[in-house]
Structure 1
Amino acid sequence: MRASRFFISTLKEAPSDAEIVSHKLMMRAGMIKRLGSGIYTYMPMGLKVIRKVEAIVREEMNRAGAIELSMPIVQPAELWQETGRWDKMGPEMMRVKDRHGRDYAIQPTSEEVVTDVVRSELKSYRQLPVNFYQVQTKFRDERRPRFGLMRGREFVMKDAYSFDKDVEGMQKSYASMFDAYTRIFTRFGLKFRAVAADTGAIGGNYSHEFHVIAQTGEDALVYCPSSDYAANMEAAEALALSSERLAASQQLVKASTPDTTKCEQVAQMLGLQLSQTVKSLALTVEKEENGRQVKENWLLLLRGDHELNEVKVNKVPGLSSFRFASEAEILDAYGTVPGYLGPINTKQPVKVVADRTVANMADFVCGANEAGYHFTGANWGRDCPEPIVADLRNVVEGDASPDGKGVLAIERGIEVGHVFQLGTAYSAKMEAVYLDEAGKPAPLQMGCYGIGVTRILGAAIEQNFDDKGIIWPDAIAPFEVVLAPMGYDRSEMVKLEADRLLAELLAAGVDVILDDRGLRPGAMFADWELIGVPHRVVIGERGLKEGNLEYQGRRDEAATAVPAAEMVGFIKAKLGK
């Protein structure tokens, strides 16, 4: 490839709406162009990266035995209504009507469509297992599209769906996809981590997320450096910080704490450690009983220095549809304003759920359900009934690992892949069955597996950049090598060597571009450092007279002289070809 025949459009400054590093650099490098909110045109330089990502994904999916198909972007509402997700997905799913007034969804994912395909095509256990995948455009109407391709509305995703006759088979398919994903992200050349995760809106029983490690990542990843334990913050188990509860050693005292609605303020006023305080969070659950709507009052208790994990709250029996109580509901149930709530002397009956750590606390401080007052020396059993005990909090660095093999550490990551064991979550609702060995119908066991193809670009850049621009890993760089001739349009010696080297590298299977635009060296180098091509060869008359060319890797601080006759072999060795 010659630069004069390719489309290169770099900018010195990023547009004002570009927020994070990857967004700014992709815009400056001419890889994407904004069309609308969260919607981008993939320009030639960016599309080259996308195609390389897709090629690796396809190779590994095919290697794992998956079969490619392509499902419609526009999908009938009836399929989504069968599973209940037409309403459950909410405004994130874009809905449209055709000229006949029929409802359709612009696909955010394709569990319903692929299950519809399978229920009409797969009839016997002899046809199982099967795994279908596609690389297809998706659309999710994000409330606040931002960060370029990291949180856009239209994006490209690889989604795959496995179907098995039993749970054991589904688990084997899941393990196969997990291994394929590990190979895919390893081949991308990215530092990544697979972590146990919540299944969220997709559903199912078990899942893992794949994250590219980056300091700018939105997600907190919890792992144990001395074991294999890893989970995202939503799913990381938080053990009690003390193994047993100490006996009460203080009397219950009602202390005056005016204008102190935060645990930090209470601890400071009373001269106590924040870890001796308990924060109270009031919830309301509305449900139907005997044909009428009733409200239940719930109180969650966390240690004052801990944070609530709402995903875990959803898993507490009875709290799957909780909401935070309004101030009027709090006054009615507790007889006081927020900031002074506690489990002792509530006005109305309240179900109390204590985090594991709080359940093992003694002589703790909590609200007195009276404005301006807190209790000190509060104890379970003596001063208030024993609570329901549950894991409610986010873990913190240094907590004991749930596997008992060390302590937890936390790093930031960007989610780029997710694998799920769905079981019969979709097949049962859509009556996707097969005939087993005895000729009896049984529901298909299903798994699904996604990779954010276009999101990989943003994540890779967030992990690999410097003050000059992007630093692509070899496998997904738009070009592996750039030839930078000094005076290509002025020196016959330089032109002949550049053309020879271009031809030989292409013949060796190297994805190389020759910059024949006649730019000054500074401008030429700045362009390719911004774009992030990982290997550069400089061709100049002075070096050629000595029989040398200059090689410099994108991360190298200085150039290396390499004999011109050896450069092709040198580059092949660098690329592992």
Structure 2
Amino acid sequence: MLQSRLLQGTLREAPAEAETVSHQLLLRSGLVRQVAAGIYTFLPLGRKVLRKAEQIVREEMERSGAQEVLLPMMQPAELWQQSGRYGVYGQELISLSDRHGREFALGPTHEEVITSLVAQEVSSYRRLPITLFQIGTKFRDERRPRYGLLRGREFVMKDAYSFDKDLDGLDRSYQTMYEAYHRIFTRCGLRFRAVEADPGAIGGEGGTHEFMALAEIGEDTIAACNCCTYGANLELTGIAEGDRCPRCSEGTMQFFRGIELGHVFKLGTKYSEAMGAVFLDEKGVSRPVIMGCYGIGVSRLLSAVIEQHHDSDGIIWPLSLAPYQVHLIPVSVKDEQQMQLARDLYDRLRQAGADVLLDDRDERAGVKFKDSDLLGLPVRITIGKEAGQGMVEFSERSALSDRRQMNVEEAIAEAIAVLEG
């Protein structure tokens, strides 16, 4: 991509409404723009990051055996009335009426719709187990939207739902998703913990875990063992910092602030009984399907990653989520040797499979470098006065002080090596 054609404007100062580092950097780098409180437009760079996050989620969901569907955002109110949640969900539910006076809700979650679908499509134990997922937009009328993408009124979410014939099957489905979530957040370059949690408005039976990105701006405090994998939301425990771990008895409990990234629930028959999602078992007896529910705030991932991956100059994108992998910066676009070498590098790197951004803007070098630091692409290749000798400067965003002069062939090889991990 040529940067001169990119719909992207950087800001030198953070807008006054941006309270957190991630909110500031999302706006300053031109990834998003606010339309209204808690509602954002994703510009091309932001959309590319979001798509990469979606793809990681999609790959791991499919690896786990889940099948992708696309459920409607507008949901008939009668489905929510059938489940018993229409009157109790609260003011976060955005409701509306069509021209005929029929009531609908803009989906904050999709338990009702997916359960209704399975009630129509699955009638025998032979069709179970099955897990379905989607990646789409959700709506919640947050009382106080804040922190940019972390607490919005419109956001992108992955929600998955498992359907089993018995509780042993639910345990297996739950564990499969639990492991998939670990792979997803690891691939996104996040430091996180899975902690025991409250099911909240989703409800259900049995276990539930939240996946929390460790960050000081997190709205939740979590207690985590420094020896084993045990952790819990502090609201559910009487644990004091420094106590012995209640699970392993060897480690001590430490407190962290956390951003909730995902939540996995064992729903049991809460929705299937209410909505008639039943199947005939091996003996021909009608029984309600056993459900699990598994959500990830996909757009929220961007903010969590930035909170953990930044410095005073801007974002430092993990390779897996960077909107572009290589940033080519000719110091002067008026120097034909620099531009010719930059174009050659651009073509060759793209042919090698790299995602490349070429800064062909007629701007001062200082402006280009400031913008490059802010955008945080993993690899930077600067083409300057030694272009005539085929020499460039190579650096990585995670270690900008380590700048190395090398020839074009070395730079291409080094960039490919970084991209291949």
Fold-level similarity (TM above 0.5)? yes
| Whole-Å separation in 2 of the counterparts to 1:545 and 1:558 | 23
Secondary structure (helix, strand or coil) at the match of 1:156 reads strand
Q: Is 1:554 equivalent to 2:397 in the alignment?
A: yes
Partner amino acid for 1:549?
A: V
| Whole-Å separation in 2 of the counterparts to 1:7 and 1:136 | 24
State how 1:110-121 maps to structure 2 within 5 Å: 110-121=110-121
- Aligned equivalent of 1:520, options 358, 361, 364: 364
| Whole-Å separation in 1 of the counterparts to 2:60 and 2:398 | 29
Partner amino acid for 2:226?
A: P
Structure 1 equivalent of residue 61 of structure 2:
61
| Whole-Å separation in 1 of the counterparts to 2:287 and 2:188 | 39
Structure 2 equivalent of residue 207 of structure 1:
208
| Whole-Å separation in 1 of the counterparts to 2:376 and 2:217 | 19
Secondary structure (helix, strand or coil) at the match of 1:475 reads coil
Secondary structure (helix, strand or coil) at the match of 1:439 reads coil
| Whole-Å separation in 2 of the counterparts to 1:546 and 1:502 | 18
State how 1:534-545 maps to structure 2 within 5 Å: 534-542=378-386, 544-545=387-388
| Whole-Å separation in 1 of the counterparts to 2:389 and 2:257 | 49
- Aligned equivalent of 1:475, options 320, 324, 334: 320
Q: Is 1:168 equivalent to 2:12 in the alignment?
A: no
- Aligned equivalent of 1:442, options 260, 284, 287: 287
Partner amino acid for 1:503?
A: D
| Whole-Å separation in 1 of the counterparts to 2:372 and 2:280 | 59
Structure 1 residue 130: Cα displacement: 0.8
State how 1:27-426 maps to structure 2 within 5 Å: 27-204=27-204, 205-235=206-236, 237-238=237-238, 395-403=239-247, 404-426=249-271
Structure 2 equivalent of residue 278 of structure 1:
none
Structure 2 equivalent of residue 382 of structure 1:
none
Q: Is 1:452 equivalent to 2:297 in the alignment?
A: yes
Structure 1 residue 575: Cα displacement: 1.7
Structure 1 equivalent of residue 338 of structure 2:
494
| Whole-Å separation in 1 of the counterparts to 2:349 and 2:272 | 51
Secondary structure (helix, strand or coil) at the match of 2:235 reads coil
| Whole-Å separation in 1 of the counterparts to 2:264 and 2:407 | 48
Structure 1 residue 562: Cα displacement: 2.5
RMSD: 1.3
| Whole-Å separation in 1 of the counterparts to 2:35 and 2:251 | 49
| Whole-Å separation in 2 of the counterparts to 1:10 and 1:217 | 26
| Whole-Å separation in 2 of the counterparts to 1:185 and 1:74 | 30
Structure 1 residue 164: Cα displacement: 0.6
| Whole-Å separation in 1 of the counterparts to 2:352 and 2:186 | 24
Secondary structure (helix, strand or coil) at the match of 2:274 reads coil
Moved more, 135-144 or 191-200: 191-200
| Whole-Å separation in 2 of the counterparts to 1:504 and 1:52 | 23
| TM, length-normalised to structure 2 | 0.97
| Whole-Å separation in 1 of the counterparts to 2:225 and 2:22 | 29
Moved more, 68-77 or 207-216: 207-216
Aligned partners of 2:328 and 2:359 also within 8 Å: yes
Structure 1 residue 545: Cα displacement: 4.6
| Whole-Å separation in 2 of the counterparts to 1:126 and 1:568 | 54
Secondary structure (helix, strand or coil) at the match of 1:551 reads strand
Moved more, 548-557 or 75-84: 548-557
State how 1:504-519 maps to structure 2 within 5 Å: 504-519=348-363
Aligned partners of 2:338 and 2:388 also within 8 Å: no
Aligned partners of 2:33 and 2:40 also within 8 Å: yes
The count of corresponding residues between Structure 1 and Structure 2 is 418
Deviations 1:427-459 (A, max 9, x none): 111121011111111110101111101100111
Question: If you compute each CA radius of gyration, which structure gives the higher value, 1 or 2?
Answer: 1
Secondary structure (helix, strand or coil) at the match of 1:123 reads coil
Partner amino acid for 1:553?
A: E
Secondary structure (helix, strand or coil) at the match of 1:86 reads coil
| Whole-Å separation in 2 of the counterparts to 1:405 and 1:154 | 43
Query: What are the ranges of 5 or more consecutive residues in structure 1 without an aligned counterpart?
Result: 239-394
Structure 1 residue 28: Cα displacement: 1.0
Aligned partners of 1:196 and 1:209 also within 8 Å: yes
Partner amino acid for 2:211?
A: F
Partner amino acid for 1:215?
A: E
Structure 1 equivalent of residue 410 of structure 2:
566
| Whole-Å separation in 1 of the counterparts to 2:166 and 2:244 | 36
| TM, length-normalised to structure 1 | 0.71
Partner amino acid for 1:118?
A: V
| Whole-Å separation in 2 of the counterparts to 1:565 and 1:229 | 49
Structure 2 equivalent of residue 466 of structure 1:
311
Partner amino acid for 2:189?
A: G
Structure 2 equivalent of residue 329 of structure 1:
none
Secondary structure (helix, strand or coil) at the match of 1:198 reads coil
Structure 1 residue 555: Cα displacement: 2.2
Partner amino acid for 2:113?
A: V
Secondary structure (helix, strand or coil) at the match of 1:41 reads strand
| Whole-Å separation in 2 of the counterparts to 1:226 and 1:16 | 42
Partner amino acid for 2:407?
A: P
Identity, in percent, stands at 51
Deviations 1:225-277 (A, max 9, x none): 11221112123x33xxxxxxxxxxxxxxxxxxxxxxxxxxxxxxxxxxxxxxx
Aligned partners of 1:190 and 1:473 also within 8 Å: no
| Whole-Å separation in 2 of the counterparts to 1:11 and 1:50 | 21
| Whole-Å separation in 2 of the counterparts to 1:31 and 1:209 | 27
Partner amino acid for 2:246?
A: P
Structure 1 residue 546: Cα displacement: 4.9
| Whole-Å separation in 1 of the counterparts to 2:348 and 2:91 | 54
Partner amino acid for 1:92?
A: E
| Whole-Å separation in 2 of the counterparts to 1:552 and 1:65 | 40
Aligned partners of 2:341 and 2:390 also within 8 Å: no
| Superposed structure 1 runs of 4+ greater than 2 Å apart | 544-548
Aligned partners of 1:158 and 1:451 also within 8 Å: yes
Partner amino acid for 2:268?
A: G
